[in-house]
Each structure stands twice: as C-alpha cells, then as structure tokens.
C-alpha cells in the first residue's frame, strides 16, 4: 500500500540547483558522534565552528531591554538605522574605514551576506576563485547561484596562502569574484599586508574581478599578528570589494544570526533585493544585541583571545609530539589543520590500513572516540581539522586519547 509519506518520497524531485549539493559533511560527523553518544560512548567532538564562551551578559541585557521596549516588529530590510550606525562605528574604530549608510548591509549571519552577494551578482557560467582549503559553504553557495567555484589548491608550505601567480593563472574572462578568508577556516592562516599586496596588484589589473573578503575571525588572532583587511590596503579597489564580518565568532553570538557587509552601494542595493524575497530583515532583537556587542566595551575580546591562544598552543604542541602528525601554529581562528601524511599506510589493531585522511578520522572516532574533520572536506588531503573551542579538560582528554590511538597504529 502506498502511504502518504512514501508517495511523497517517490514524487519528490530536488531542483537541479541543489541536486549536487550534499548535506554538510561536518554536520554529518556531528550526527555520527551524537549517535555514538546515544549508544553510551563518551565521544569528544572537536568539530565545532563556534566559540565555547557564552554571549556576554551586557549583550543579553540589551536584547532583553529591546524586547520589553517593543522592538518586536519588522525593521528596515537590511538593518535598522541604529544597527547600520553600529557597523559604521565598528569599521571606523577597528579598521580606520569610513563607510556611508548605503554601503552597509546587515543579514542573518555572515553566511547570508555572502549568499546575498553571490545570488545578486552571479549568472550561469560565471566563475568564482576559491583558494583551498576552504570553508565549504563558499563553493555550495556559488553552485546554488548557478555559477562555478574554481578551486585553487594552495601550498601547505606557504601556509595555504594563495599566491599572485596562482591567482593570475586562475583568472579567465568569466571570473567575477575572488574569495578570501583571513584568518581562515579551516587552517587558521592569516594574511599580512605583505601577503595581500601582490594579490591586490593582480586584481588592479583585472577590472572584472571583485573581491569578497570574509573577515569573520578578525578578532581571533594571536601573538603579535596585526589583522588587516584588503579594502584598507588598496583604496583603488574600494569599488570592487565586499568586506564581510559578523558577531558570531568574536562575541560568541552564533545563535543570534547577525552578520554584515560593507561594499559599493550598488552591490548593497542588489543584495537587499535578494534578502527582501527570502528572510526580510534580520531579527530585531538580535540587531539590538549586536549593537551592544559592536559598540559596548570591547575589553573581554583580549581576554578571550588569550584564552584561545593558550588552547591553541596546547593542541599544536600535543599534536606535534605525536609521531606521524605535523601541525603548523595558526595565526588565528580556533582551528588547527594538521597533516596526517605520516599516518598513511599504518595498520589498525584489526588489520585495517589507513589510506586517507578520511580513514584516519574514522579511526580516531572509533578507536579514540574523538571526532575531528578530514581535510578532504575542505579540499585538502591528507589533513584534519580540530577545533579547540572546547574546555581545557576536554582538550586534554581528547589529546591523550588521540596520542594513544596513534601510537597503537602499526607501521607496515
Ligand atoms: N565564514 C566563515 C569562514 C565561517 O567559518 C563561518 C561560520 N562557520 C561563517 C562565515 C558564517 O558565520 P555566521 O554565523 O555569521 O553566518
């Protein structure tokens, strides 16, 4: 008998634009870990893309006051006037940049800002250059927009930074955008002014190519690294750069869903058209919270940064102490991206051969009950990403389990 739901399952046909886009593998790993937990296994997940800190109290209070004041209605489409002012203040204070109100766009997360920008500008056949390893949503959003992500493999020896030569070779007449992300998810690599300069010079010579700079990890940088954003370095490119940022990572506000962009007014206007037919305005309460985050006291950012730095060093040192792993010390974000090349070819206790980073991560999940993400998910093998946005106790336990499981692997 054909039940209602099996009929629906048979007749369901996804649109071509999403047919080749799978569910995020990172979410799938999280689901496997959750299923193992349910069976009673004590799994530690080092997969999270969000800070483990709580949203600051002052930010929560601001949201609560806004709700009580009745700020519970639709706001201006791509951000309330007060929210846009807060974003302008942030760019002045942190980056020395002056944007006008019509150059600011506010959405439900940096992800929606990027989605709006690509939907507003890409046609079938257009190309977007995405250096790898990369945050996988970039490529999938580009595909949803009907365009082609052109993945350019960056060299681990160069910290996975894109070089001017690689950029020059990847540009074609169909190139519309270059996507850059510093500090990077998944590698933690950050670009200095000297790293950006040659890339900006290439862009100056190719007038059809715009730059989307994803600065979402701006405030999570370590040691004496000085964050810079491309539009601040090359004013001549100002009419071709969209700078994207948000409150998710710096202010531990992933659930509030507020991101923003600053770029040419014509682009911002086109992005508002996309948003007007999807979500309309970002949440009014969340905008009130984000205003407090962006314009209130900023001193806790330095404390949290220092806390992340200690955890980064803990994880990097522990991974490097394991024979077969090599982990560079990232300049920012809260991820390590270690090579597991030395593990390939080794055998598990039940005789299975580690043939790839996927095999290695599956082994860690089964043998060590630690979930990390294979580099192949981000377009680079053989590596794995571990997030250190977890408590020190959890990191200590995870690292000793990883060391034990690695030491149990037999060389052939
Ligand atoms: N860019 C990068 C590189 C990210 O890692 C993330 C979050 N995982 C985002 C953008 C999206 O952030 P938001 O929560 O503001 O949508």
Q: What is the pLDDT of residue 4?
A: 60
The residue whose CA is least distant from atom 7 of ligand 1 is 49
Contact by Cβ (8 Å): 107, 78: yes
CATH 3.40.1050.10 for domain 22-51+300-407? no
Contact by Cβ (8 Å): 190, 334: no
Q: What is the pLDDT of residue 19?
A: 82
Using one digit for the tens of pLDDT, what is the confidence trace for 218-241? 999 999 999 999 999 999 999 999
Q: Identify the residues whose C-beta falls under 6 Å from ligand 1.
A: 49, 109-111, 135, 181, 185, 214, 216, 246, 248, 254, 259
Domains 22-51+300-407 and 58-295 share a fold: no
Atom of ligand 1 nearest to the CA of 246: 15
Q: Ligand 1 centroid vs 111 CA: distance in angstroms?
A: 6
DSSP result, 100-162: -GGGEEEESSHHHHHHHHHHHH--TT-EEEEEES--THHHHHHHHTT-EEEEEEPPGGGTTPP
Using one digit for the tens of pLDDT, what is the confidence trace for 113-147? 999 999 999 999 999 999 999 999 999 999 999 99
Entry pTM: 0.96
The alpha helices in 277-373, defined as continuous H runs, are 284-295, 299-320, 357-363
Q: In this predicted model, which residue has the larger pLDDT, 236 or 2?
A: 236
Residue of 135, 256, 282, 333 to mutate, ligand 1, most atoms within 8 A of C-beta: 135
Specify the CATH number for 58-295; select among 3.40.50.1820, 3.10.310.30, 3.40.50.720, 3.40.640.10. 3.40.640.10
Q: Ligand 1 centroid vs 395 CA: distance in angstroms?
A: 23
For 299-312, give one letter per residue: b (16+ CB within 10 A) or e.
eebeebeeebeebb
CA distances from 254 to 52, 67, 219, 276, 368 (A): 10, 19, 15, 22, 29
Q: Ligand 1 centroid vs 376 CA: distance in angstroms?
A: 19
Tokens 């000297």 correspond to what residue? 194
Residue of 24, 106, 216, 218 to mutate, ligand 1, most atoms within 8 A of C-beta: 216
Is 90 exceeded by the pLDDT of residue 30? no
Q: Count Cα neighbours of 157 within 13 Å in the Cβ-side half-sphere.
A: 0
| pLDDT confidence bin for 29, thresholds 50/70/90 | confident
H or E stretch including 213? strand 210-214
Contact by Cβ (8 Å): 111, 259: yes
Please tell me whether the peptide bond between 382 and the residue prior to it is cis, using omega within 30 degrees of 0. Answer: yes
| Rounded distance between C-alpha atoms, residue 123 and residue 145, angstroms | 7
| Rounded distance between C-alpha atoms, residue 347 and residue 223, angstroms | 39
Domain boundaries, the chain: 22-51+300-407, 58-295
Is 70 exceeded by the pLDDT of residue 9? no
Is 80 exceeded by the pLDDT of residue 346? yes
């Amino acid at each position: 008998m054909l039940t209602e739901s099996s009929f629906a399952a048979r007749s369901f046909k996804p649109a071509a634009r999403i047919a080749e886009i799978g569910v995020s593998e990172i979410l799938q790993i999280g689901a496997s870990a959750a299923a193992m937990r349910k069976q009673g296994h004590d799994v530690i997940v080092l997969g999270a893309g969000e800070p483990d800190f709580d949203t600051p109290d002052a930010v929560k209070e601001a949201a609560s006051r806004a709700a009580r004041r009745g700020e519970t209605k639709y706001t201006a489409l791509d951000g309330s006037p007060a929210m846009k002012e807060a974003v302008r203040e942030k760019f002045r204070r942190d980056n020395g940049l002056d944007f006008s109100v019509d150059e600011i766009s506010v959405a439900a997360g940096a992800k929606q800002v990027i989605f709006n920008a690509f939907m507003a500008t890409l046609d079938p056949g257009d190309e977007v250059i995405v250096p790898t390893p990369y945050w996988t949503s970039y490529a999938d959003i580009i595909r949803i927009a009907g365009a082609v992500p052109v993945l350019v493999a960056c060299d681990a020896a160069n910290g996975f930074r894109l070089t001017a030569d690689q950029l020059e070779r990847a540009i074609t007449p169909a190139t519309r955008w270059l996507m850059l992300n510093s500090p990077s998810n998944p590698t933690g690599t950050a670009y200095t002014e000297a790293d950006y300069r040659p890339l900006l010079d290439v862009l100056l010579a190719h007038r059809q190519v715009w730059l989307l700079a994803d600065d979402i990890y701006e405030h999570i940088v370590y040691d004496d690294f000085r964050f810079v954003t491309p539009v601040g370095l090359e004013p001549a490119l100002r009419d071709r750069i969209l700078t994207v940022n948000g409150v998710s990572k710096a202010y531990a506000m992933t659930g509030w869903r507020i991101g923003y962009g600053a770029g040419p007014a014509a682009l911002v206007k086109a992005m508002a058209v996309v948003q007007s037919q999807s979500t309309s305005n970002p949440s009014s309460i969340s905008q009130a919270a984000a205003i407090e985050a962006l314009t209130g006291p900023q001193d806790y950012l330095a404390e949290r940064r220092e806390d992340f730095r200690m955890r980064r060093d803990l994880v990097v040192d522990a991974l490097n102490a394991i024979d077969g792993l090599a982990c560079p010390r990232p300049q920012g974000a809260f991820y390590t991206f270690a090579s597991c090349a030395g593990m390939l070819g080794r055998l598990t206790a039940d005789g299975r051969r580690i043939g790839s980073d996927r095999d290695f991560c599956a082994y860690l999940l089964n043998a060590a009950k630690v979930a990390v993400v294979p580099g192949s998910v981000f377009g680079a093998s053989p590596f794995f990403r571990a997030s250190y946005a977890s408590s020190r106790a959890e990191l200590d336990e995870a690292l000793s389990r990883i060391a034990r499981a690695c030491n149990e692997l037999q060389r052939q």
